[in-house]
Structure 1
């Protein structure tokens, strides 16, 4: 599989925390499945899915994102199709009610001022009767043992989401939004995403420390363009990337994520 180091680190950490790629009770050995990965980026989740469940090479796997900048230049398994699609725009009518599994991870915050609940309901419409949706988003809270740099990280990210107009605690409303969309068997779970020295695998520990710190770079660049009054003093803001990297290397960090799943009602006979 081809992907950037930061993407694979985040992916591997989330999969490790979840104990797998999918929490929904679905038969991933079924070659007739139709699966959507919204906010696919470089389609790494789909590629890992095919590698883990080889029979999905015969399935229909669709990855979408708002731009194609991260779409792999290398060849993909023939079952994977990639398409430009924003979560704030209407989905193709012919897709509605056709997917056995709809997955979206760490993407909803990109809605900005577009109603997050509407984006979730639009995704729910894509699930076929009896099919499942799996949404994964950050809790935006710190662990009790997190250090000052990790707390600054959460403070800054929360402020940016609030400034963008969507708020930072939207993950807590997803369960209700799915229920309002008519889904059943809706369950949510908050699990710890361990970073840096908190990870037992030394290789993954280094990669998650580096990728988490580097995730601040585009955010800081955005702040310079967007302006505003960040909640951190200039000195702490400018030093955040190296401070966060050092802290995660030495003591690790804890970043909880929220997983919400739901099922479209089966058609009664």
Structure 2
């Protein structure tokens, strides 16, 4: 069931970043790397800022991630978690949360998580990739941690990279054009959708919603900053809702244009969709 409710408030907001110097607590950044970049070598200022702000560096991906750094450039209190690209999402998140709790006990303000995201084997679906990104986004939202996910565009199929970018509220780096929409965490089982969902990005939206549904039997979606959703986007949302026979997707904050389009499409009359005044 999809239910549209009146407008309300939301906390996190999507935004473009000029550089990694602009990150703030709770940010989840899609960083499009230059082909020749080394993860930490190209983030020396970002890493150095950990001392200035009292944060702890946590690197996901192993020692190869530090290649290109001069001696002493990696802070001695940094933690490197050596996970493979196909590592279980639950194990990755458990380790990151554990390091965050340790950092807070040690007196750090928060953690700065750096990871280079690599494509998974062809047998892995895009929903698997999105599931980990959405969970990292929830972690950033809930904990106030800074999470930077680096992608080398040359290693990714363009449609898959676009899917991944859409579930990061922030983006920086080469060709860092703003995706048509962004979907990101705004609380427990709550997701905000920003921008425009049309036929060009309906597949990415469908994949993101299906990945989010994997985590919960019911969820809330905030449409406060969604400008428009066309018929293809509505269909993607309705189809996802039908995967939740015992749960629901509650949509809050839809503007008048979105609400009118929803009504004209006739979804308020279906068994699986309910629109509130």
Same fold (TM over 0.5): no
How high is the TM-score relative to the length of structure 1?
A: 0.38
User: Larger RCO: Structure 1 or Structure 2 (Cα < 8 Å, ≥ 6 residues apart)?
Assistant: 2
How high is the TM-score relative to the length of structure 2?
A: 0.37
